[in-house]
């Protein structure tokens, strides 16, 4: 299997290259279960977390481990926006994702009880990988609908050309087949 090497801090991984769309291959980052890589990424990202940050806002599933570790290092709480409506949600904030690199549309959901915790807060958006920026843009809209101000957009990795200003640690390529 073809792999692509990445290094964060002292941790190196050889990511499997997978086809996400016909003719498009990417190195697949999977943070869940990789404690060393998550720790290294969080230690590097915490240096970019603005002091005025009140809350870290992330998305389920993969970025949760990064947000959790960043929260532990910084002492800042974190809130998770869901990709699926849960039965317990009351009057959720709903946001469609306008574009997704993987070619799948989705909707973001934030329960009103979590939204209340964002009101008037300064938030840092935290992702594992940002490609086009469409999902991060949708998460930012959720934050604004909840009455929060975004003070940082942080990602362990970025691919492609996001239109949003994002602080990331390492670029990973999008590979096209000939």
Q: pLDDT per position in the chain (178 positions), as tens?
A: 899 999 999 999 999 999 988 888 999 999 999 999 999 999 999 999 999 999 999 999 899 999 999 999 999 999 999 999 999 999 999 999 975 555 567 899 999 999 999 999 999 999 999 988 889 999 999 999 999 999 999 999 999 877 789 999 999 998 876 5
* Rounded Cα–Cα distance for residues 48 and 63 (Å): 17
CA neighbor of 6 nearest in space, from 33, 39, 28, 32: 28
Domains of the chain: 31-169 (3.40.50.2020)
Question: How confident is the model at residue 104, as a pLDDT?
Answer: 65
CA neighbor of 66 nearest in space, from 75, 81, 78: 78
Strands of the sheet containing 175-176, edge to edge, are 3-8, 11-21, 24-27, 175-176
């Amino acid at each position: 299997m073809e792999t692509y090497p990445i290094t964060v801090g002292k941790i190196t991984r050889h990511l499997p290259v997978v086809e996400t769309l016909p003719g498009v291959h990417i190195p697949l980052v999977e943070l869940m279960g990789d404690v060393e890589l998550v720790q290294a990424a969080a230690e590097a990202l915490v240096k970019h977390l603005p002091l005025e940050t009140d809350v870290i806002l992330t998305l389920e599933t993969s970025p949760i481990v990064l947000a959790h570790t960043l929260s532990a290092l910084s002492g800042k709480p974190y809130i998770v926006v869901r990709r699926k409506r849960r039965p317990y949600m009351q009057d959720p904030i709903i946001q469609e994702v306008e574009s997704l690199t993987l070619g799948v549309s989705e909707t973001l959901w934030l329960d009103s009880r979590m939204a209340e915790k964002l009101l008037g807060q300064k938030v840092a958006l935290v992702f594992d990988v940002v490609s086009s920026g469409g999902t991060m843009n949708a998460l930012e809209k959720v934050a604004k609908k909840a009455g929060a101000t975004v003070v940082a957009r942080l990602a362990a990795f970025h691919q492609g050309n996001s239109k949003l200003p994002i602080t990331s640690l390492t670029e990973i390529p999008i590979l096209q087949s000939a």
